[in-house]
Amino acid sequence: MPTADPEPQPDWVQSDSTYQSGFDIRPDRPFLVTGLLFVVVVALAGVLFNKAMVLNEAGRNPEAKPLLLEARALRVKAFGPLHPLVGDTDRLLGEVDAALDKPKRALSELQAALQSTRKGYGATHPHTRRAALSLAAFQAERGDTAAMATLDQLAALQGRDIETRKVSWLATADVAALRCHGLQREQALTALTALESDIAEAFPEGGEIARRVASKQVSCR
């Protein structure tokens, strides 16, 4: 008896064989800043972005947002609006605006982030997958079943590189957190406990991923 063809997967869950860690930093149009000023602008944008990440993780999103807006403006000035680093910034901006209860703005930013990172980094780059994860988590929290399926696909990613494993861990945590208050609560708690053990083995000193999983585990109990 013939079997149905498997359903095609999104390009960002395919094999990592096409993954390349580098990307072309030339913008689609000439730099608006050059020379030493370019170096300073890029470095300052990185500092602002990293500080905003720390504030976001601490739940201090009103403080994180202006730093991200400034970082984004600097990256646009240095690279142009379609560069993947701008996409990285849009991804975190979307997460911050979601936390600040600005869903329309957050959705627009998360969609832009996925588009820019996919075009700039490639479909299987960890930053592209992280953007896909943020968008899917946002939509799944609002009842989108297709987004929930996307989270399941990201959670099932296989890869030996640590960045792919991080995406898989975060997706697994998001899936468990979304299911922990329903009929699948016990399975969700089991998944979070196993996940906590895997992350502790990889990062005995802790870190962002471990703290995110621990937070979701607490909210699930």
- The answer to the question of residue 148 being in a domain is no
8 inside domain: no
Same domain, 74 and 114: yes
Residue where a domain terminates, one of 97, 121, 143? 143
Total number of domains in the chain: 2
* Domain assignment of residue 100, yes or no: yes
pLDDT value of position 86: 97
Statement to judge: residues 137 and 171 lie in one domain: no
* 167 and 111 belong to one structural domain: no
Domain membership flag for residue 7: no
d(CA 218, CA 212): 10
Q: What is the pTM of this model?
A: 0.82
pLDDT at 33: 63
Asked if residue 16 is part of any domain, the answer here is no
pLDDT averaged per 10 residues, the chain (length 221): 45 42 41 77 96 94 98 94 97 98 98 97 95 97 96 91 91 91 82 87 83 82 73
Q: What is the structure's pLDDT at 24?
A: 40
Torsion-angle region of residue 201: left (phi > 0), alpha (psi -120 to 50) or beta?
A: alpha
The CA-atom distances, in angstroms, between 68 and each of 44, 46, 58, 71, 115 are 11, 10, 15, 5, 19
Q: Say which CATH number the domain at 96 has.
A: 1.25.40.10
- Residue 107 has which token pair? 């959705």
What is the model's pLDDT at position 4? 44
Is residue 67 located within the same domain as residue 171? no
Are 115 and 43 found together in one domain? yes
Judgement on whether residues 78 and 161 belong to the same structural domain of the protein: no
Which domain-ending residue is among 114, 143, 172? Answer: 143
Please indicate, yes or no, whether residues 165 and 88 belong to a single structural domain of this protein: no
- The token pair at 174 is 């998001």
Q: Which of 124, 151, 154 lies closest to 136, judged by CA?
A: 151
Same domain, 116 and 205: no
Q: Does residue 19 lie in a domain region?
A: no
Looking at the fold, whether 114 and 173 belong to one and the same domain comes out as no
Give the model's pLDDT for residue 32.
61
Structural domain including 189 reads 156-221
Share of the chain above pLDDT 70, in %: 85
**Listed residue (56, 34, 8, 22) closest to 126, CA to CA:** 22
Domain finish residue from 94, 110, 143:
143
